[in-house]
């Protein structure tokens, strides 16, 4: 399965400009044999949190049809990063998964809000457990940025059978060391691929790190994006590596969860 990651300079508070960027990217940057594209976190409005009341989508009514049309037009699955998504009870940070047939098969609301950015002031936390979905037979989970710091969530997806966990983010350069090591740890401890799509732009004085990753379950780096620079990252993954590594080091069979309480 081959992925294309858009390490995108998100334009704060400008959904139409960001949609235009994604259209252009899919028309000019994608190679024909890519199966799945991955977008970063909050790509519609960025981290202009105090302006989300104006710029958040209304329960996906604009963005979801836009993504469905793109998926069908280009014959690509879209792991659509996440967007600012306004519902009756507030604004959520929501990820959508669209198949190449234009079907919405999964959505996830970010459950861990970043206290350092006052996300809890502007956003609602997701209230549902993490779940997995399938694309071309591959079992996949998705988490959003700060979620990466919570091994319980990542392990829950692995226990559901995730062979790949996608991390969509706007992770800052100031904490890029954490970004680096946490992804390696999550790949190794859950024996799955970690594929991340990070932003590379800037918002309100915060520079985002870029450095999107594809990491094998063994901890081997497949590829990575450049620092703080917009880029397209292409990587092919092999599910047999997941199967073999889980056979070679059977951590899931070795677990004793009744002793962990």
Q: Rounded to whole angstroms, how far apart are CA atoms 261 and 257?
A: 7
Is 41 among the residues known to form the active site? yes
Name the active-site residue from 21, 68, 100, 145: 145
Contact 210, 226 (CB under 8 A): yes
Q: Rounded to whole angstroms, how far apart are CA atoms 68 and 10?
A: 20
Among 91, 133, 122, smallest CA distance to 109 is for 91
Name the active-site residue from 21, 41, 119, 211: 41
Q: Where are the beta strands (DSSP E) in 53-173?
A: 57-58, 77-79, 83-87, 90-98, 104-109, 132-135, 138-144, 164-169
Name the active-site residue from 100, 110, 119, 163: 110
Q: Rounded to whole angstroms, how far apart are CA atoms 82 and 168?
A: 7
Is 203 among the residues known to form the active site? no
Is 192 among the residues known to form the active site? no
Q: Catalytic residue numbers? A: 41, 110, 145
């Amino acid at each position: 399965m081959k992925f294309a990651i858009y390490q995108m300079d998100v334009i704060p508070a400008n959904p139409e400009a960001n949609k235009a960027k994604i259209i252009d990217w899919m028309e000019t940057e994608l190679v024909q044999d890519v199966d799945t594209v991955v977008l970063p976190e909050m790509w519609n409005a960025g981290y202009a949190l105090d302006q989300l009341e104006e710029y958040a989508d209304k329960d996906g009514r604009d963005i979801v049809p836009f993504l469905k049309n793109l998926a069908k037009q280009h014959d690509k699955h879209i792991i659509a990063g996440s967007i600012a998504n306004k519902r009756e009870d507030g604004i959520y940070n929501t990820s959508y998964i669209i198949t190449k047939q234009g079907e919405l098969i999964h959505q996830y609301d970010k459950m861990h809000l970043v206290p350092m950015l006052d996300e809890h002031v502007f956003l609602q936390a997701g209230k549902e457990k993490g779940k997995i979905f399938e694309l071309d037979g591959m079992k996949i989970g998705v988490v959003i940025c700060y979620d990466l710091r919570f091994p319980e969530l990542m392990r829950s997806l692995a226990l559901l059978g995730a062979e790949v966990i996608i991390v969509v983010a706007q992770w800052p350069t100031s904490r890029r060391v954490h970004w680096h090591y946490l992804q390696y740890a999550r790949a190794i401890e859950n024996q799955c691929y970690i594929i991340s799509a990070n932003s590379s732009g800037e918002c309100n004085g915060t520079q985002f790190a870029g450095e999107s990753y594809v990491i094998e379950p063994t901890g081997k780096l497949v590829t990575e994006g450049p620092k703080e620079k917009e880029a397209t990252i292409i990587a092919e993954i092999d599910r047999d590596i997941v199967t073999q590594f889980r056979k070679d080091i059977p951590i899931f069979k070795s677990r004793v969860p009744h002793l962990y309480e």
